[in-house]
């Protein structure tokens, strides 16, 4: 079920009314929200609702056992088993085909006979997201940062529909306590919620889908038909597309949760204004960045060891972060490139003997370099195969005599707006929201109606699935 559709609008209207009607009845509210979330997930493929149920039961079992266990050896064994079960489910559905293809290719290259059987497995939408949420829950209980939640609360937390299939990755410490308090509909930040939903819709259907259908999809499907300048603009366009698409889902999810009385952590903070790769990862998919930091990078040793150990930890974190995004070597290369650049930045910082003076010129240069490094890595992320990625890179540098017919003014405008909008300051947005909140309800409704009309008029026909559904 896609957010920018009449089907979802109808679904959410029912959920919104029932959410507030059932608020005085906590147990009924939990059962209703669980059923609504399962319906939302099952609308895509009802058979995988069982996977959510299994994940909920298994992780709640491990959580209870972790809380009961006294001996540290028993607790370590339980958390190891919990991590293994979660990663086992994720590995089977997401990485089985990748593993078999890699092994068979290696055997063929060595001239060895025999091959592993390849079974076609449908990837459950959002499995990476709810698996990471489940892992954060049991790990936080193991670390004694979180108490075991009632089974029904945990089931609702894991399946809660706004962020279920594409984030943000909301931790138990962030959402579970909100189930306990009584929410007041008069205290909802409706102005911010409607702003986020409207901005998310505009990003998705006006910018992301437009760039995809009018340039990006064609170039990445048949790069041999395009010249260097067209490919360069397509790479820029994909950088904007994936930001607009993914941040749109996060914006809408956060806005919907606000209307239901819940607060999610922010997931994006103007990533293309970053002045370094490290800064980029503080701004891009921030809930994943923090998850990788707290549950992978720091347990590996973080930056506590010698320089080489820290660089190893950075590389391993980014390589595994790349693999989390998809079961293909191109995602590993994408993560590896970011890891290499993070290692290089840390090496330069350690070698610097004097503080870096950040003048406007230096800041501009650093932003341009960072944006181009990120955009270059996106080539591997978007390409359907390694051969396509290398063909795009080759033609990017060798076909400057080619045409420019694919580059149009609306495409350039969409790219410029997608990047330029990130330079709008937070205080400016807050002033707009404050002004909107002071309007009478009828005036607010009029502003929203006009906004939705303009978005619909500018939108492409139909709505494509969000990019991160595949992860």
Separation in Å, CA 70 to CA 135, 138, 239: 21, 16, 50
Distance CA 321, CA 315 (A): 10
Q: Which H or E element spans position 374?
A: helix 360-382
* Nearest of 258, 279, 282 to residue 268 by alpha carbon: 282
pLDDT at 263: 93
Task: Spell out the domain ranges in the chain.
Answer: 6-182, 190-458
Exposure of 302 by Cβ count < 10 A (0-12 exposed, 13-18 middle, 19+ buried)?
middle
pTM of the model: 0.91
- Rounded to whole angstroms, the maximal C-alpha distance in the chain is 75
* Nearest of 268, 239, 89, 281 to residue 168 by alpha carbon: 268
* Residue with the two structure tokens 């040793």: 301
Most confident by average pLDDT, 112-121, 123-132, 166-175? 166-175
Active site residues: 325
Beta-carbon contacts of 459 under 8 Å, excluding residues fewer than 6 positions away, are: 205, 206, 209, 210
Instruction: Among 28-32, 285-289, 384-388, 440-444, name the one with the lowest average pLDDT.
Output: 440-444
Residues in the chain: 471
Tokens of 210: 């437009």
Q: Which H or E element spans position 379?
A: helix 360-382
Q: pLDDT tens for residues 355-378? A: 777 788 889 999 999 999 999 999
Handedness of CA 398, 400, 403, 404 (dihedral sign): positive
151 pLDDT tier (thresholds 50, 70, 90): very high
The answer, yes or no, to whether residue 255 has pLDDT greater than 70, is: yes
**Axis crossing angle, helix 172-180 with helix 151-159, rounded to the nearest 10:** 120
Tokens of 212: 């995809």
Q: Are 245 and 460 in contact (CB under 8 A)?
A: no
Distance CA 135, CA 145 (A): 13
Q: pLDDT tens for residues 200-238? A: 999 999 999 999 999 999 999 999 999 999 999 999 999
Q: pLDDT tens for residues 105-121? A: 666 666 666 565 655 56
The answer, yes or no, to whether residue 469 has pLDDT greater than 90, is: no
């Amino acid at each position: 079920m896609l957010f920018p559709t009449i089907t979802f609008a109808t679904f959410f209207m029912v959920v919104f009314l029932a959410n507030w009607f059932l608020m005085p009845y906590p147990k009924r509210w939990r059962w209703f929200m669980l059923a609504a979330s399962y319906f939302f997930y099952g609308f895509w493929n009802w058979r995988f609702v069982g996977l959510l149920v299994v994940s909920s039961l298994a992780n709640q079992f491990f959580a209870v056992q972790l809380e009961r266990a006294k001996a540290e050896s028993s607790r370590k064994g339980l958390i190891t088993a919990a991590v293994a079960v979660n990663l086992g489910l994720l590995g089977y559905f997401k990485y089985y085909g990748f593993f078999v293809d890699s092994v068979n290719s290696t055997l063929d290259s060595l001239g060895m006979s025999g091959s592993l059987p390849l079974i076609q497995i449908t990837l459950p939408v959002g499995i990476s997201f709810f698996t990471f949420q489940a892992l954060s829950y049991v790990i936080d209980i193991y670390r004694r940062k979180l108490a075991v939640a009632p089974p029904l609360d945990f089931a609702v937390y894991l399946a809660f529909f706004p962020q279920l299939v594409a984030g943000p990755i909301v931790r138990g410490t962030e959402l579970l306590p909100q189930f306990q308090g009584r929410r007041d509909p008069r205290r909802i930040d409706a102005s911010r919620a409607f702003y986020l939903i409207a901005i998310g819709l505009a990003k998705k259907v006006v910018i992301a889908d437009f760039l995809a259908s009018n340039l990006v999809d064609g170039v990445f499907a048949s790069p041999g038909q395009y010249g260097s300048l067209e490919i360069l603009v397509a790479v820029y366009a994909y950088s904007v597309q994936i930001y607009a698409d993914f941040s749109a889902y996060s914006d809408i999810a956060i806005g919907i949760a606000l209307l239901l009385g819940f607060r999610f952590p922010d997931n994006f903070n103007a990533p293309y204004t970053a002045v370094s790769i490290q800064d980029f990862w503080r701004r891009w998919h921030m809930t994943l960045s923090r998850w990788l930091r707290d549950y992978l990078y720091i347990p590996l040793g973080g930056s506590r060891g010698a320089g080489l150990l820290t660089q190893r930890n950075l590389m391993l974190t980014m390589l595994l972060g790349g693999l989390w995004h998809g079961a293909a070597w191109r995602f590993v290369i994408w993560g590896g490139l970011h890891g290499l650049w993070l290692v290089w930045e840390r090496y330069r910082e350690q070698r610097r003997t004097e503080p870096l003076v950040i003048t406007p010129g230096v800041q501009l240069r650093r932003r341009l370099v960072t944006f181009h490094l990120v955009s270059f890595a996106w080539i591997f992320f978007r390409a359907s195969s390694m051969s396509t990625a290398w063909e795009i890179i080759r033609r990017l540098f060798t076909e400057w005599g080619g045409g420019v017919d694919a580059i149009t003014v609306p495409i350039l405008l969409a790219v410029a707006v997608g990047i330029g909008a990130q330079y709008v300051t937070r205080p400016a947005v807050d002033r707009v929201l404050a002004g909107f909140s002071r309007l009478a309800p009828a005036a607010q409704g009029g502003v929203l109606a006009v906004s939705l009309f303009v978005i619909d008029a500018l939108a492409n026909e139909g709505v494509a699935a969000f990019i991160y559904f595949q992860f």
